[in-house]
Amino acid sequence: MLKLYHAPRSRSLRVLWLLEELGVDYELELIPFRKLLAGEHRTPDYLALHPLGEVPLLRDGELRLFESGAICTWLSERHPEAGLTPSDGDERARWLQWLFFAVATLEPPAWTRLRHRRMLPPEKRNAATLLSATRRYKKALAVLEEQLADGREWLLGERFSAADILCVNTLLWARELLDEAPSATAWCQRARARPACRRAERIR
Ligand SMILES: N[C@@H](CCC(=O)N[C@@H](CS)C(=O)NCC(=O)O)C(=O)O
């Protein structure tokens, strides 16, 4: 059976949400967020499973998989019957584009902003770094806003996919900037109203 190592409010929520969307059986190893922040989960046993000691980690028999983007892509492809995964053609190409956009373009400035606004101790926060990350983040957000401005339901149109999960989860790190993007705001609300997302968010 699949086993997910998950800490609520962390990136592993992406995988949990997707598992709920796919409707597959899984086992959960819950790491309290407080424990994650304190690094208390970094036991020798856990580091033997995940070389960076992070979450998410997914196990499937002998397979140990880390990186939320890779896990979401792999799970989606493994469960085409759920209808979340474009099988080929232009839709699949666009799906890959948005998956990579989420982790390579949207997430880095969102993460840098979060650290320099809230997570680092005040003396380590840097105003110039925050400003440049905010600029890059706003450019990425504008790309999403443009994609959604035609009123489409999801990034790919009618098909909800892991690309929506990765992007929406990341946008929540910078809610204070969402006002500038009404279509993206409505999309985040639609996505988070999905029963699978609600179930995943409730697990604590
Ligand atoms: N690129 C990785 C990043 C994973 C990551 O940074 N996870 C954080 C939680 S959001 C973590 O485990 N932090 C605790 C630690 O590094 O000890 C992914 O997307 O899976």
Burial label for 30, CB within 10 Å (0-12, 13-18, 19+), is middle
Task: Return left, alpha or beta for 29; rule: phi > 0 is left, psi -120 to 50 is alpha, else beta.
Answer: beta
pLDDT of residue 88: 85
Pocket of ligand 1 (CB under 6 A): 10-11, 36, 39, 42, 53-56, 66-69
- Domain assignment of residue 201, yes or no: no
Task: List the CATH number of the domain containing 98.
Answer: 1.20.1050.10
Measured in Å, residue 149 CA sits from the centre of ligand 1 at 32
Task: List the CATH number of the domain containing 11.
Answer: 3.40.30.10
- Domain assignment of residue 199, yes or no: no
Q: Which residue, by CA, sits nearest to atom 9 of ligand 1? A: 10
For the chain (length 204 residues), average pLDDT per consecutive 10? 96 98 98 94 96 97 97 98 94 98 98 96 98 98 98 97 98 93 97 98 94
Structurally, how many domains does the chain consist of?
A: 2
pLDDT of residue 160: 98
Q: Is the pTM of this model over 0.85?
A: yes
Residues 48 and 139 in one domain: no
Residues 112 and 37 in one domain: no
Query: Residue 29 carries which DSSP code?
Result: E
